[in-house]
Amino acid sequence: MSYYFEYYAAIQDKESKMVFPLGPYDCNGKLKAIIDRSRSFASDLYNDFYVLPNEQISDKLHKEFDCEGYNGEKICNIKYLPIDKLPTNSYIMKGYFLIDDVQAWEQSGDDSLFYTMIKPEYYTELMRKELIFGKNQPEKDEDGYEYTKPNASDYIYSAIPNYGSKEYEAEVIRQVATMLFDYELSEKYNLIIIEVEG
């Protein structure tokens, strides 16, 4: 079981299919992850990656990840994904959210509060029912506690970034990787993303 997921930019030779690290590098020349996530906070982006065949891993890539197997054989558990296969949907959630949740998010930054988002079509229907039948009245649950279902006036339209989504991770990776990929490299190499688990 993996405890973290790290994503790096790499280039793949169009002819030989060999993969070389692209970056980013720190000031000491050490390869650094574009983004790394612990299992607790990672999206399921890692499921989109394919296993990189060992014969396509360059010596430079082996060296960066210190891949050693049995009897001196170099074995790396590296996965890859062409950059154009990264998800392209927006990580911004747009819809109607409970006002209390939006205010709590503004205070805490906890985006797990937003399971109550409703789409504009549902909000329109909620508003229509309210105009015909009036606002929701208090009800009792099976334990006898009183509660009231949210009314249209309890919601506000907002656009909230979902930093825990695979779309957010993909956007960060794409932005950094494309900055590192020089136009001159595109003649000989394809830009890919590699994923390493640990």
Number of residues assigned to the chain: 198
**Domain range summary for the chain, segments of one domain joined by +:** 4-86+165-197, 92-161
Contact of 116 with 96, CB cutoff 8 Å = no
20 backbone dihedrals φ, ψ, rounded to 5°: -125, 145
What pLDDT was estimated at residue 69?
57
Contact of 86 with 113, CB cutoff 8 Å = no
The per-residue pLDDT for range 116-174, each reduced to its tens digit, is 788 899 999 999 999 999 898 888 888 888 888 899 999 999 888 888 888 999 999 99
C-alpha span between 86 and 180 (Å, rounded): 17
What pLDDT was estimated at residue 1?
53
Strands 189-197 and 78-82: antiparallel
Q: What is the pTM of this model?
A: 0.76
Q: Which parts of the chain sit beneath pLDDT 70?
A: 1-2, 67-75, 109-115
